[in-house]
Homo-oligomer: A and B are copies of this chain.
Amino acid sequence: MAKPKPSLAKGTRDYTPSMMVRRYYIIDTIKETFQRYGFLPLETPSLENLSVLLGKYGEEGDQLLFRILNSGDFLKKTRADDFQKGYKHLSSKIAEKGLRYDLTVPFARFVVMHQHDLAMPFKRYQIQPVWRGDSPQRGRYREFYQCDADVVGTGSLLCEAEIILMINRVLQKLRLPPYTIKLNNRKILTGIAEQIGAKGKEGALCVAIDKLDKIGREGVTEELQTRGFTDTAIRQLAPIFDFQGTLTEKLTLLEDFLGDSTDGQQGLTELKQVFTYLEAYTGKPADQANLAFDVTLARGLSYYTGAIFEVKVHDTTIGSISGGGRYDNLTGAFGLPDVTGVGFSFGLDRIYDVMEEFALFPEHTETTTQLLFTNFDATAEKYLLPILEAVRAVGINAEIYPSAVKLDKQLKYANRKGVPYVVLVGSEEMATQTFTLKNMEARTQETVDLPTLITTVKEMR
């Protein structure tokens, strides 16, 4: 009986070895950077009680949570009328657990559960998949990775400065093309709302301004009108949109604009302090090409209360590749108030896409296989085994083709696997203790002794 072809669940994907090699290249750079700055790894379970997840992501988020059927007879505790009341009601009776939707809520849960034994300030990073029941579309999957780092338990602006240093380190190590880290502060937006006579409406202001990139200035104006901003208020915003000049000019203009707004001036002071810190860290002026104070950066999420930042690569349509901000109430939903912190994340898939677009992935990494010994016959095979172990012992990723099939097939295997060096050994090589070393890319070959073989292959990386 013919069996049906197996398929992937909708919205999911396999990461093939060639994708994984590239993903590790990015992830290892991010991990190394987090660790260099004193962040330690954390992992939380994929499954969380729905009581932890529900109500944290808005109504739409609740809908998108993947729910796990209770184990065993999940109907045991249900009554006849549970079925009449519709699927939302029924799901609460038959599913108590869900799949993690992001890394922030499980992190908040962790902080609350471990509040008495964490060394504060607590610096953690977390690189794990999350799940959302979105309609799959190009570039949007139901399972994808997030890479977060957060410091909680301190309001020090050194943390904001170090986040910018970490972003620069990662993107420069990966040799990304020119990008801009946009920086702003929510308190400045609060101050602006105050100064245009819309005090307390900074939330609506942020949501509207956040769309500037997508809908343009006219769109934002319309959105503000819809959200009840007066024409006078909107007119007063003009200098904010027209904002030009050097960092110093921008800061002066804004200091003026914000006038007697305590929040606004506080935001400005914080912003300046981050720039001052950056100058101290690097010994260079902070007003560099890749860092820009952007007063129109708003970021939609309502929980940010201080610095906010976002990173975009120039000359591509791929969206922001990193972003974050400071919050004052991470754990309030779990009954622990006043936990301040600042966090950010790297968009792994988007960084991957940028690197593909600009062809930035190295051919060979720590992960890939460097050397294939071909298998001529049983004698050559036996001769090569201790040599194979010897090259592995000095750090070369190597293998021997596992049977003496036609050479052509063995070379094809090396090519398809992207192995850059192949060694041929027949009776002549064995007699002279030499190796015919083929460079698969250059399509050249030379006769070498073992030390030269090792040096040549090791130098490649």
Contacts and interface: CB of A to CB of B under 8 A. Distances in A.
Nearest to A1: B335
Given A75-B90, A123-B399, A43 B15 contact: yes
A51 B389 contact: no
Given A14-B42, A280-B386, A36 B398 contact: yes
Contacts of A386: 280-283
Chain A interface: which size bin? 35 or more
B74 A3 contact: no
A17 B122 CA distance: 10
B20 A43 contact: yes
A13 interface: yes
Given A75-B90, A335-B5, A14 B44 contact: yes
A137 interface: no
Interface stretch (A107-115, A182-190, A344-352): A107-115
A179 interface: no
Nearest to A82: B83
Interface string A69-91: 10111111000000100110011
A257 interface: no
Contacts of A6: 49, 51-52, 109, 112-113, 334
Interface in A106-131: 109-110, 112-114, 119-121, 123-124, 129, 131
**Number of copies of this chain that the complex holds:** 2
29 contacts: A3-B335, A4-B335, A6-B52, A6-B112, A6-B334, A7-B113, A8-B49, A8-B113, A9-B47, A12-B47, A12-B48, A14-B44, A15-B41, A17-B41, A36-B397, A37-B398, A45-B143, A46-B46, A64-B71, A66-B68, A68-B68, A68-B69, A69-B94, A72-B87, A119-B413, A156-B402, A156-B403, A280-B382, A281-B388
- What are the 4 tightest A-B residue pairs by CB atom distance, in nearest-first order? A38-B399, A156-B402, A12-B45, A3-B335
Interface of A: 2-9, 12-17, 20-21, 24, 35-38, 40-49, 51-52, 63-64, 66-69, 71-76, 83, 86-87, 90-91, 94-97, 99, 109-110, 112-114, 119-121, 123-124, 129, 131, 133, 142-143, 151, 154, 156, 158-159, 165, 277, 280-283, 333-335, 366-369, 372, 381-382, 385-386, 388-389, 392, 395-400, 402-403, 412-413, 416-417
